[in-house]
């Protein structure tokens, strides 16, 4: 069995925070793959399901970020899940917004959620690092991660979460490189949801694309909303629709 953990803080006041992007990721995995229903257990909210034939428990700790390890440790011990079968999704300020990396083990880079999990379990679990950017100076980090994503972030955030959800079966199989490849394919060859596939294309291909009919919007973008006048409300609506 695998344990997929999304890190964040419970409560509607935190729902749109950059610090809660881990919650957003597991919410989208649950929606995309028919997990549920969400139930309160292991000091959090959990949902059962399958990915690529593997049993997976999705967990959102409700112990607040700094005590995430209490919830994750309880679930792992009760279900007898090894460290290498635990995947943690979290916000990474040292990655540019929209960037995604995966690693097993390593340092916690000052992230209190990871620090708590490592204290309760050890350090050899899988980390899915979701880039949210850095405010520029250390003194502003706490305010940065505890503020909502900006409306401009929706253009990369929603497609990225959609890509993570679609590629999640690769993580259940332990194939981290194919997971990243699949996400990149969903977002475009660059792997950056803020950039299109045509950025590195030859000049003739770019000209052909300019003259061709515009393609349909990315499905995740459609979910985020079509009206420019409503863009400031799109993320909150998207999050509200995904509450258990």
| Ordered per-residue pLDDT tens for the chain, 244 residues | 999 999 999 999 999 999 999 999 999 999 999 998 999 999 999 999 999 999 999 999 999 999 999 999 999 999 999 999 999 999 999 999 999 999 999 888 789 999 999 999 999 999 999 999 999 999 999 999 999 999 999 999 999 999 999 999 999 999 999 999 999 999 985 566 666 443 333 443 344 334 333 333 444 334 433 322 333 354 655 556 555 5
- Rounded alpha-carbon distances, angstroms, from residue 48 to 10, 37, 41, 59, 168: 20, 8, 11, 9, 14
- Evaluate whether 223 touches 232 at the Cβ level (below 8 Å): no
CA 81 and chain centroid, separation: 21
Quote the pTM value.
Answer: 0.80
Joined tokens for residue 93: 């300020």
Say what angle helices 154-172 and 21-33 make with each other, to 10 degrees. 60
The CATH number for 42's domain is 3.40.50.1470
Q: The dihedral of CA 161, 109, 125, 78: what is its sign?
A: negative
The neighbouring-strand residues paired with 131 are 92
Predicted pLDDT of residue 57:
98
Predicted pLDDT of residue 107:
85
The neighbouring-strand residues paired with 92 are 131
Predicted pLDDT of residue 194:
61
Positions annotated as catalytic residues are 19
Predicted pLDDT of residue 234:
47
- Evaluate whether 84 touches 100 at the Cβ level (below 8 Å): no
Predicted pLDDT of residue 239:
55
Predicted pLDDT of residue 227:
29
List the domain range (segments joined by +) for residue 199.
2-241
Q: Which residue do the tokens 């919007």 mark?
A: 217
- The domain total for the chain is 1
**Which among 95, 86, 135, 134 is positioned nearest to 114, based on CA atoms?**
86
Predicted pLDDT of residue 64:
96
Predicted pLDDT of residue 210:
41
């Amino acid at each position: 069995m695998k344990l997929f953990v999304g890190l964040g803080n419970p409560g509607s006041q935190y729902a749109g925070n950059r610090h809660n992007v881990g919650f957003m990721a597991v919410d989208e995995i649950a929606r995309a793959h028919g997990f549920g229903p969400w139930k309160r257990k292991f000091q959090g909210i959990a949902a059962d399901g399958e990915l690529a034939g593997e049993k997976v428990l999705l967990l959102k700790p409700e112990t607040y970020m700094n005590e995430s390890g209490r919830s994750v440790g309880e679930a792992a011990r009760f279900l007898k899940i090894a460290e290498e079968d635990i995947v943690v999704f979290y916000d990474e300020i040292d990655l540019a917004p929209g960037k995604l990396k995966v690693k097993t083990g390593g340092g916690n880079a000052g992230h209190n959620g990871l620090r708590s999990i490592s204290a309760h379990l050890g350090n050899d679990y899988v980390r899915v690092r979701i880039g949210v950017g850095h405010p520029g100076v250390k003194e502003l980090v706490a305010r940065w991660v505890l503020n909502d994503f900006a409306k401009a972030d929706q253009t990369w955030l929603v497609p990225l979460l959609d890509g993570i959800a679609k590629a999640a079966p690769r993580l259940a199989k332990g194939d981290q490189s194919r997971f990243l490849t699949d996400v990149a394919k969903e977002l475009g060859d660059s792997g950056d949801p803020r950039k299109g596939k045509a950025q590195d294309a030859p000049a003739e291909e770019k000209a052909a694309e300019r003259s061709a009919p515009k393609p349909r919007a990315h499905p995740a973008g459609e979910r985020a909303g079509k009206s420019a006048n409503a863009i400031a409300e799109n993320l909150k609506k998207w999050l509200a629709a995904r509450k258990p």
